[in-house]
């Protein structure tokens, strides 16, 4: 990596000034009112090195709806609970379809392609539900234990809106149940899934919470995971499946394992060096933050820091 840490504050300011001309190119998620109401012109970025040094720019401490980034934490928790048994029920391949598609699920007998499309994430949630007395509390506590922030909880307003408009997710869960890949009751699993999508975190929380993925499973806030080499396995999935239908292009432009959400957040890791989170609510047609992707591309470009 071509970078002295002392150069980072200036570099982050430079990235900030180079991405803000992109305001207005994308559009905030509009499928639920609490997301469409978010001020679109916001940008934050936080980077945390494995030695604990942190650098931020913009609104790095502003909490936002992490949406599908929660699929990453749910996956880590499910792997921690059931280990490789999870892979009997979910695949590890890119889907090549929209994240909430039903077509492939029917064709492939109820085994979702990967844990980051909705069908896969609902199976992951089902796993947590069936092994926990209070699944949502368990996930909240898990995330707080990774980020060190006990205020990482679900937002009730976002949750109600998710539940009210979740027709496709309900269809997916019902199809999973019909095809024999959902152990819990549909309503119970969906309730937990919607709450998980409604979790609120800041860039700084996310950069801290993904430290273990950059640091061979070690986290400053939490002791080792049970699963062996969680970082290697989760990073591989993020690289191939973490950005909806744009994972290939993101790997090309940025070259870091990452996971995005329609709240406008993206987390990414450079194994052995740092975890980084960006947030800006305006999305491109794939559902990925326009400014967030550009900021990560500039970061890896200016610091020669991709995995490739």
Q: Which of 262, 165, 130 is nearest to 122 (CA)?
A: 130
**Shorter beta-carbon distance to ligand GLU: residue 59 or 118:** 118
Residues 184 to 203 in contact with ligand GLU, rule: CB under 6 A:
197
Positions annotated as catalytic residues are 68, 71, 193, 244, 262
Name the residue among 103, 105, 112, 108 with its Cα closest to residue 241. 112
- List, in sequence order, the alpha helices (H) in the chain: 8-19, 33-36, 70-82, 103-107, 118-129, 135-147, 156-165, 167-178, 186-197, 203-209, 211-214, 230-241, 247-253, 290-303
293 binds ligand GLU (CB under 6 A): no
| Contact map string, positions 145 to 164, toward ligand GLU, x by CB under 6 A | -----------------x--
Q: Which of 197, 301, 212, 186 is nearest to 253 (CA)?
A: 301
Q: How many residues bind ligand GLU (CB under 6 A)?
A: 11
Task: Confirm if 75 and 230 have CB atoms less than 8 A apart.
Answer: no
CA torsion through residues 153, 158, 160, 162, sign: negative
Q: Interface with ligand GLU includes 210 (CB under 6 A)? A: no
Indicate whether 176 belongs to the interface with ligand GLU (CB under 6 A): no
Q: Which residue from 169, 181, 219, 293 is in contact with ligand GLU, where contact means CB under 6 A?
A: 169
Site for ligand GLU in 18-57 (CB under 6 A): none
| 116 belongs to the binding site for ligand GLU (CB under 6 A) | no
Of 99, 154, 250, 273, the residue at the interface with ligand GLU (CB under 6 A) is 99
Q: Does residue 119 belong to the site contacting ligand GLU (CB under 6 A)? A: no
Q: Does 250 bind ligand GLU (CB under 6 A)?
A: no
Of 188, 187, 80, which is closest to residue 143 (Cα–Cα)? 80
In the complex, the residues that contact ligand GLU under the rule CB under 6 A are: 67-68, 99-100, 118, 162, 169, 197, 261-262, 287
């Amino acid at each position: 990596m071509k970078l002295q840490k002392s150069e980072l504050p200036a570099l982050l300011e430079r990235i900030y000034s180079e991405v803000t001309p992109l305001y207005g190119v994308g559009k905030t998620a509009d499928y639920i009112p609490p997301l469409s109401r978010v001020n679109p012109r916001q940008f934050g970025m936080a980077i945390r090195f494995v030695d604990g040094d942190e650098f931020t720019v913009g609104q790095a401490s502003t909490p936002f709806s992490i949406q599908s980034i929660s699929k990453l934490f749910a996956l880590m928790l499910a792997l921690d609970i059931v280990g490789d048994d999870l892979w009997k029920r979910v695949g590890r391949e890119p889907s090549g379809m929209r994240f909430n598609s039903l077509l492939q699920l029917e064709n492939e007998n109820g085994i979702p392609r990967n844990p980051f499309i909705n069908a896969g994430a609902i199976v992951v949630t089902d796993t947590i539900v069936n092994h926990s007395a209070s699944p949502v509390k368990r996930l909240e506590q898990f995330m707080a234990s990774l980020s060190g922030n006990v205020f990482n909880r679900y937002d009730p307003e976002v949750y109600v809106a998710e539940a009210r408009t979740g027709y496709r997710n309900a269809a997916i869960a019902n199809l999973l149940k019909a095809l024999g890949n959902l152990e819990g009751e549909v309503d119970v699993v969906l309730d937990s899934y919607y709450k998980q999508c409604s979790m609120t975190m800041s860039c700084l929380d996310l950069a801290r919470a993904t430290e273990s993925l950059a640091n061979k499973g070690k986290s400053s806030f939490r002791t080792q995971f049970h699963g062996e080499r969680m970082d290697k396995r989760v990073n591989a999935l993020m690289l191939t499946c973490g950005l909806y239908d744009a994972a290939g292009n993101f790997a090309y432009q940025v070259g870091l394992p990452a996971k995005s959400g329609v709240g406008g957040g993206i987390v990414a890791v450079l194994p052995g060096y740092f975890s980084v989170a960006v947030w800006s609510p305006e999305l491109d047609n794939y559902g990925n933050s326009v400014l967030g992707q550009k900021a990560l591309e500039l970061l890896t470009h200016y610091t020669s820091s991709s995995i490739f």
